[in-house]
């Protein structure tokens, strides 16, 4: 999204929401807030958590949801590599960092104010607490900024509702052993805040606040329930460079760097369950809608598990082959240059034989869909990776889907250091009566290198 467009949309969202809530602010104040949000959300490492994302999460109807969405991803330490200087002033009186670990100051050091204490109560956090990036650190700090920035213009009840919405976006929290959910905890924390800060909220208003929070939180992860798995994978691919900055340079990252990204995402997708992705609280959303969200998510996760498993097998083979050259070989050395418009360079897939004569057909609809995703590609181009996967397609067509689970187990053993590279390459399932995958790929690597060498020979002759 163009930054000017994003800035205007943010400004309009702030002004419109305040008007709906019966208050106003000077335009200069709203311009400063818009600048703060858009600059932070447009950092160089942001590929998924961008201005477009916060507008999608906010929707267009409820002003509290719109405002909460504008702030909910403002702090993302893992992506930004720290906390943006423009927003750090709001949280520095309350937060310290020791050896890369963020914590709330101890009681005798913390600079208490009403806004910070309110957010602590909503999140159930306390002085001296260490912050965990995977248990609400970013959401908590984003909520602190939201409440401090918006405090001059909104009532304390509205600020509480915004903080609650942001708290609900802490992702992937299942029910406790006693059946208590994150929504139950949020309800309890709002009750505590209502009493402590004399907010005057009724039980109905508290329940409605939790329901509103569920709506926003479910929109935050709605890509998991997209009907088309290819679109879900597009969003997954946008997340990869946010957590692995090495991938920003299309031709400069290593085989290992790319593999680590795929391996991390494959492990994450296999860990997830639909029930920890989406929330439901007192029939928000309605049962039929909630079940559709869970069903679509299950389909996307299972498709992504198979797709990422094949991608991990493929890059494991390439990495094992690269060990014959060294331990930090660039991906372009093994695969060829990332294609650029108007530039033709040799690529590894150009030297692979045609396998159309082999009868390694998918055994079910999911395998057919994944093979199409590998061969034709995801729906969007990527700045750091091909949208299709010619090497993975070649491997699957060569050996079929039946042996992939066994190969994936060995691939993970190799990548975890439990198996040598050459031992992995000798895996019996990588060879059939029709094809020896490793031998063919080895020859293709030789041919790719030979093609490059021939160019230099021609140039020298000239």
d(CA 51, CA 452): 42
Copy the structure tokens of residue 29: 């104040």
Task: List pLDDT tens digits, range 180-189.
Answer: 999 999 999 9
Q: 326: which residues sit within 8 A by CB, 6+ positions away?
A: none
Q: 198: which residues sit within 8 A by CB, 6+ positions away?
A: none
Taking 70 as the pLDDT cut, the residues of the chain under it are 241, 243-252, 340-343, 359, 380-385, 455-462
* CB burial of residue 265 (10 Å; 0-12, 13-18, 19+): buried
What pLDDT, on the 0 to 100 scale, is given for residue 341? Answer: 64
d(CA 53, CA 338): 28
Rounded to two decimals, the pTM is: 0.90
Q: 97: which residues sit within 8 A by CB, 6+ positions away?
A: 103
Helices 287-322 and 365-376 cross at an angle (nearest 10°) of 60
Q: Where are the domains of the chain?
A: 3-220, 229-461
Q: 184: which residues sit within 8 A by CB, 6+ positions away?
A: none
| Residue 165 · residue 72 · CB < 8 Å | yes
| Residue 70 · residue 169 · CB < 8 Å | no
What pLDDT, on the 0 to 100 scale, is given for residue 247? Answer: 60
What pLDDT, on the 0 to 100 scale, is given for residue 236? Answer: 83
Residue among 205, 162, 172, 169 at smallest CA distance from 187? 205
DSSP state of 427: -
d(CA 449, CA 318): 15
d(CA 263, CA 109): 41
d(CA 122, CA 190): 6
Phi, psi of 25 (to 5 degrees): -150, 155
Residue among 388, 425, 407, 440 at smallest CA distance from 309? 407
The full length of the chain comes to 462
What pLDDT, on the 0 to 100 scale, is given for residue 458? Answer: 64
* CB-side neighbour CA atoms (13 Å) of 366: 11
Helices 3-20 and 63-71 cross at an angle (nearest 10°) of 140
């Amino acid at each position: 999204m163009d930054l000017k467009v994003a800035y205007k949309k943010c400004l309009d969202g702030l002004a419109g929401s305040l008007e709906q809530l019966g208050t106003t602010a000077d335009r200069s104040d709203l311009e400063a807030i818009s600048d703060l949000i858009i600059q932070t959300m447009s950092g160089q490492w942001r590929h998924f958590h961008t201005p477009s994302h916060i507008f999608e999460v906010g929707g267009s109807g409820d002003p509290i949801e719109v405002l909460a969405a504008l702030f909910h991803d403002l702090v993302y330490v893992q992506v930004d590599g720290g906390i943006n200087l423009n927003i750090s002033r709001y949280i520095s009186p309350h937060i310290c960092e020791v050896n890369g670990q963020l914590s709330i100051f101890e009681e005798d050091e913390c600079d208490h104010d009403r806004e910070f204490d309110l957010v602590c109560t909503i999140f159930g956090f306390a002085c001296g607490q260490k912050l965990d990036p995977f248990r609400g650190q970013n959401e908590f700090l984003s909520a602190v900024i939201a409440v401090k920035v918006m405090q001059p213009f909104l009532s304390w009840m509205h600020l509480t509702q915004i903080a609650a919405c942001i708290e609900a976006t802490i992702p992937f929290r299942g029910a406790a052993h006693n059946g208590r959910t994150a929504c139950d905890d949020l309800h309890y924390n709002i009750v505590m805040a209502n009493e402590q800060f004399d907010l005057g909220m009724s039980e109905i208003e508290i329940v409605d606040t939790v329901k509103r929070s569920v709506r926003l939180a479910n929109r935050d992860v709605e890509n998991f329930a997209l009907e088309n798995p290819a679109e879900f994978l597009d969003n997954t691919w946008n997340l990869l460079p946010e957590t692995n900055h090495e991938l920003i340079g299309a031709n400069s990252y290593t085989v290992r760097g790319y593999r680590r990204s795929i391996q991390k995402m494959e492990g994450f997708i296999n860990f997830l369950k639909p029930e920890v992705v989406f929330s439901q609280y007192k029939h928000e959303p309605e049962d039929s809608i909630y079940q559709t969200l869970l069903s679509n998510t299950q389909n996307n996760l299972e498709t992504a598990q198979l797709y990422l498993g094949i991608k991990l097998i493929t890059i494991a083979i390439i990495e094992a082959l690269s060990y014959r050259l060294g331990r930090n070989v660039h991906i372009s050395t093994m695969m060829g240059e990332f294609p650029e418009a108007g530039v033709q360079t040799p690529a590894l897939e150009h030297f692979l034989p045609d396998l159309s004569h082999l009868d390694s057909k998918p055994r079910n609809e999911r395998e057919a869909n994944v093979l199409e995703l590998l061969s034709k590609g995801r729906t969007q181009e990527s700045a750091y990776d091909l949208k299709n996967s010619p090497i993975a397609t070649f491997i699957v067509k060569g050996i079929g889907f039946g042996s992939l689970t066994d190969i994936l187990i060995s691939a993970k053993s190799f990548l975890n250091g439990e198996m040598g590279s050459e031992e992995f390459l000798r895996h019996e399932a990588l060879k059939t009566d029709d094809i020896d995958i490793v031998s063919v790929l080895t020859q293709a690597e030789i041919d790719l290198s030979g093609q490059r060498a021939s160019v230099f020979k021609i140039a020298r002759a000239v």
